[in-house]
Amino acid sequence: MHEAKIQFFTMIAHEIRTPVSLIIGPLEKVLKAQVALPESVRNDLNVIDRNSQRLLFLVNQLLDFRKVEQQGMKLKYSEQNIYQLLKSVCERFTPFITQYGATLKLECPDEGFTAMIDYEAITKVVSNLLTNASKYTKDEVTVSCSLAPDGHTFTIRVADNGIGISKEEQKKIFNPFYQAMENKPATGIGLSIVKSIVDLHNGRIEVQSEVNEGSVFSVILPTEHAEAASRQDRPAEEPKEPAVSEEEVQPKEQASGKPVMLIVDDNREMLDFLSSSFTDKYTVLKAEDGVEAQEVIGKNDISLIVCDWMMPRMNGIELCRAVRANWATSHIPFILLTARTDTNSKVAGMDCGADAYIEKPFSVQYLMACIDNLLELRNLLRQKFSKMPLVPLNSIANNTVDNEFLTRINAVIEENFSNPELTVDFLAEQMGVSRSGLFSKVKVLANITPNELIQVIRLKKAAALLAENKYRINEICYMVGFNTPSYFAKCFQKQFGMKPGEFASRKQEEEKPV
């Protein structure tokens, strides 16, 4: 199609989709409000609701109402009956799957089998896999569970007989925001959340799939969990840290008790509607274009930006680029709202460094679920970095500026392990930032203080050296800047849930040829 025509249709789409969003959103709120309405009014509203939902589906097939609201997650291990867990997830999904004429089977030979898992987290894993299986299957979905002969691990499988995934795509689907299929209701982050949860459980996920035959996702998990078992006998004494004032550690937005969300849209009604939807959870600030938004960002500690694409003066992409280019703001999650549907625009949007791209019209519930997913994913990455000995610091970076910042700070710390001057002030000076700037940035990226970061980097380096199996534990202890092996062992255990010796022997065990 001629470029000018594409531009024209895009503009029309933009004009149509914004008001459509403003029908669907407020309607959702009215229907959910606990107020008594005359039956005839409620019936009419239900008709509007059904048809606007249909319209929504036809416009971009983007919605996925099943994304559960997700809060920050800390794993809580307990002994759980796996059959009961799978049964309850399957019961929840049966109406959804059968609605499309498919069947859902559960095969679990040992109904009494239990394992140490985080119930909520594994429920989330199975739910995400089932959501995908239901979306892509032909007419059959099977969930099954089996215990390995040695009893150390068990496997949960979710299989479908649908469109399948090519070998090339199988390598990419666990990456955040990857979507093999366009035009399906999707965010592309479900599987990356699944993988993060499985990794946190010290498990692994595998996919076997043939195009047009179906896919089998297998989640292999340990039946016992070292961290859960060792938690009881952790040393009571906390490692001594230089005193850090609370004021310096707490990001400013915590003063009001709520994180700060900035909403940027040139449509006043949209701006008001979105902000009223988020005031429960966030302190909402508003701006009508990119230039105004930059002023707001300069004066406030923003936790999240939701921004329209097309705006006068400075559009959403330009704003996103500016936010990403500045190290003081580059970490802020950025969600771009747009009416554009053509692939080139989508790629341009992703290239500017936005974390998520949501097409109008969207439901507020969907936007909320995307935000929660995004924040949870960041949270999981931080936990993975913190708990898993060999996961590097820059794994928590979400963009190149943060990646450079983290790589550099990691290098400065490593180069100065044996330097007694390795303090927060020294680190700030080396990084060319203020002490408070360093606190905020490290806190927001890693959710720890710079002192804690120095400690974690020491321990990570120790883990890497242990894995190399070239030095004795005591030598490594001094190499990474600890003064006593007993304190080193204590800190290592506290951080990674196992003693240095245990970690080293596990690594050697893994290295052994089979």
How many CA atoms are closer than 13 Å to the CA of 147, on its beta-carbon side?
17
Q: Is 165 in the site for ligand ADP (CB under 6 A)?
A: yes
CB of 220 to ligand ADP, least distance (A): 18
**Applying CB under 6 A, which part among 12-20, 70-78, 132-140, 395-403 lies near ligand ADP?**
132-140
**Applying CB under 6 A, which part among 185-193, 264-272, 296-304, 405-413 lies near ligand ADP?**
185-193
CA–CA separation, 464 and 345 (whole Å)? 42
DSSP structure class, residue 211:
T
Residues 33-72 that bind ligand ADP (CB under 6 A): none
**Of 122, 125, 156, 163, the one binding ligand ADP by CB under 6 A:** 163
Angle at 500 between CA 242 and CA 445, to 5 degrees: 50
Q: Write b or e for each residue in 91-118: b if 16 or more Cβ atoms lie within 10 A of its Cβ, otherwise e.
A: eebeebbeeeebebebebeeeebbbbbb
**Applying CB under 6 A, which part among 118-126, 129-137, 252-260, 491-499 lies near ligand ADP?**
129-137
Tokens 């307990």 locate to 78
Element (H, E) at 206: strand 204-210
**Of 63, 133, 375, 491, the one binding ligand ADP by CB under 6 A:** 133
Q: Is 119 in the site for ligand ADP (CB under 6 A)?
A: no
**Of 60, 132, 329, 338, the one binding ligand ADP by CB under 6 A:** 132
Pairing of strands 153-160, 214-222: antiparallel
Q: Is 160 in the site for ligand ADP (CB under 6 A)?
A: yes
CA–CA separation, 406 and 412 (whole Å)? 10
Q: Is 260 in the site for ligand ADP (CB under 6 A)?
A: no
The region that residue 233 occupies, defined by phi over 0 for left and psi between -120 and 50 for alpha, beta otherwise, is alpha
- Count of beta carbons in the 10 Å neighbourhood of residue 487: 15
Residue 135 or 458 with smaller CB distance to ligand ADP: 135
CB of 187 to ligand ADP, least distance (A): 4
Closest CA to 367 of 24, 39, 113: 24
Residue 190 or 290 with smaller CB distance to ligand ADP: 190
Angle at 186 between CA 183 and CA 188, to 5 degrees: 120
Q: Is 367 in the site for ligand ADP (CB under 6 A)?
A: no
Residue 129 or 293 with smaller CB distance to ligand ADP: 129
Residues 189-248 that bind ligand ADP (CB under 6 A): 189-192, 215
- Count of beta carbons in the 10 Å neighbourhood of residue 52: 18
**Of 25, 188, 316, 481, the one binding ligand ADP by CB under 6 A:** 188
**Of 136, 154, 273, 405, the one binding ligand ADP by CB under 6 A:** 136
Say if residues 369 and 69 touch (Cβ distance below 8 Å).
yes
Residues 453-472 that bind ligand ADP (CB under 6 A): none
**Of 181, 229, 325, 411, the one binding ligand ADP by CB under 6 A:** 181
Element (H, E) at 441: helix 435-446
Binding site residues, ligand ADP, CB under 6 A: 132-133, 136, 160, 162-163, 165, 173, 178-181, 186-192, 215
